Each structure stands twice: as C-alpha cells, then as structure tokens.
A and B are shown apart, each in its own frame.
Chain A
C-alpha cells in the first residue's frame, strides 16, 4: 500500500515509528463492561456471573472487543487545554495532509491475554503505511494503516488493533 515516493518526508519518517505511548486514564471497570454488554444485549455469563467467570476464565474479564474502550480519553479533564483524541496518529495525518474528513474502512483485532477489571493498560501507536492519493465516492484523499498495541500492567500483550483509515476532502459540485 505504501508508495513513499509520493509522501512528504515528514510522513515517511513516521512510518514504523512508535508514537503516543500512553497509560489508560482509568482502570478497567465493570460498569463499562455491563454498559457495553447492554448496548448489544450480550448475555454471555462470563460477564454477568462471577461463578461462571471463576470456573472458565479464573475470574471476571472484559469482552475482548472492548480493547479500544479503555483508551478513549475523557471528554474533559481538569487542566486539559485541548481535547484529547483517541488514535492521535489518525488525526495527525488528517492535519498533515489537510484532509478534514475521515472514516475507518477496515479493522483487525488480535486478542491475547484477557483484560480483567482493575487492569491498567498501556498502549502505543505505529503508522504502518500511507497510500498514494485516491478518489472514492466520499471524496479525494489517502488511506492509511495504523497499529495500536495494548499491554497490561504486567507487560503482557493483551491485543493489537490495526485500523485502515481514509482521510478525504468532499468533492464540491
């Protein structure tokens, strides 16, 4: 996907570089686990019944697909002067290329150690590739692939997400 010949040097330099190593703003907690399950009517007893969780997963766990939830920054926090954004590399690329709109088109998640209530996760973002300019029905822009790696407080890998984003300008008619 990468065609570095069309990329500004400042973008090319970001490919493969570890960025935004961060620790989650709050420990994994069960309220959000239940809110997530409620949003999709997930009755898996692993998330509702401690006896079942004790027997199958050695205690409560979070739904694996909640990985990114634990890194969404608070919408507001004391002393914060500008809004914190999840997947900052994605927003950096929008800014660098002057592309005001963006969507995510593909997402791959690989699950490793289970995430448990009380865990404090760490994350880091790695830009993997940027496409040459493309035009789709949404507009003109570029695709990019960003990996987000997640680890727990014991330095165990809990998951890796790969996002394909498309930043674009809408066509003017």
Chain B
C-alpha cells in the first residue's frame, strides 16, 4: 500500500462564489452498496438483500444508505479542499435511491463564502448527486478553509469553532 501524502491546501482567498468543483463519476455495483453498508455497520436488509428491498421496501434493488452517501460527499469535498478543509455542517436531502448499475455523478458549485466573527473562513458548497441527469441527493455543505497559508481550521476549539 502506498501512503497518500497529497496535502494541497486550498485557501479561502482562492475560492469565489460560482466556482465549480471537478466532477466525480462512479459506477455503483452491488459491492459498492454492500461495502458502504458494512463500513457504516448498517445491517438493515434493504442495503444487502435484493428480495427484501424489492418486496418490502418497494424499491428496484438494494440501495446506498444515508451514512455512506455522507462519506461520499465528505470524500468529494476534501478531494477539492485538501486535508486542511474542515467540515462544519452538511445537510442533505434524499430524493431518490442509488442502485447497483447506476453511474453516480457528484458535481458542485460554491454558493457563498464568508469569514465569521472569529476569523474562520467558510465556503458553502452545493453538491448534487445525479444518475443519468436525475437528481438523487443534494447536499449543502459548510466547510472551513484556511484563510492563509499559516492558518489551520483544525486548531479551532470551543468558541473559536462555529459550524
């Protein structure tokens, strides 16, 4: 295994409203769904049992669970920000399910940037998870970015951290 060492540091001053993040495309398989359920310790059958999903839940197949979708959003955002980016808040809304055989596409744009009262730089990013152009989940994330190359949002504690 090679240890990842990419510590690129996206700073607050480099981000503007309207900036578009690089798209992430991923072919979802049954393994993706089951591994996501396993990784989140979720043994509910609609995330591994096709028959249950179809005949009890009334869905087409097993589908990605909520905590694993959150993990996909986190990975997508920190691929962009680098490890100094610190998530403060995520709100997401599931509009449809993501099934094996789907190619999910994560795309995003910066909606808003602000510096709060304690000097922390924040970007609000709207992330969309789509399949064949249909919106399945949208996510509004608030992520803290270093205000300059000497800043590190992870050092903020107590009242200095206002997510």
Residues of chain A at the chain B interface (Cβ within 8 Å): 32, 35-46, 48-49, 52, 56-58, 63-66, 68-69, 72, 75, 101, 103-114, 138, 170
Contacts and interface: CB of A to CB of B under 8 A. Distances in A.
A105 B87 contact: no
Contacts of B39: 32, 35-36, 38-39, 69
Contact of B74 (A42, A72, A103): A42
Contact of B87 (A41, A52, A56, A111): A111
Contact of A113 (B84, B152, B157): B157
A106 B91 contact: yes
A56 B154 contact: yes
A105 B5 contact: no
Contact of B75 (A35, A44, A110): A44
Interface string B135-163: 00000000000000000101101000101
26 contacts: A38-B35, A39-B40, A40-B36, A40-B68, A40-B75, A41-B75, A42-B71, A44-B83, A45-B3, A45-B5, A52-B83, A56-B7, A65-B67, A65-B71, A65-B74, A66-B67, A69-B40, A69-B41, A103-B94, A108-B92, A110-B89, A111-B88, A111-B89, A112-B161, A113-B157, A170-B58
B35 A39 contact: yes
Contacts of A63: 71, 74
Looking at chain A's contact residues, the main secondary structure is mixed
A70 to B, nearest CB: 9
Contact of A104 (B6, B58, B72, B94): B94
B7 A52 contact: yes
Contacts of B41: 32, 69, 72
Which of B4, B57, B72 has its CB near the most chain A CB atoms (within 10 A)? B4
B111 interface: no
B129 to A, nearest CB: 12
A45 B3 CA distance: 7
Q: Which size class do B's interface residues fall under? A: 35 or more
A35 B38 CA distance: 8
B3 A49 contact: yes
B99 interface: no
Nearest to B56: A101
Contacts of A58: 154-155
Given A65-B73, A170-B58, A52 B5 contact: yes
A109 B83 contact: no
B78 interface: yes
B71 A40 contact: yes
Contacts of B90: 65, 107-109
A72 B154 CA distance: 27
A105 B93 contact: yes
B103 interface: no
Given A72-B40, A111-B88, 12 more contacts: A37-B75, A39-B38, A43-B79, A44-B79, A45-B5, A48-B4, A56-B7, A63-B71, A69-B67, A107-B92, A108-B91, A111-B163
A114 B4 contact: no
Contacts of A40: 36, 68, 71-72, 74-75
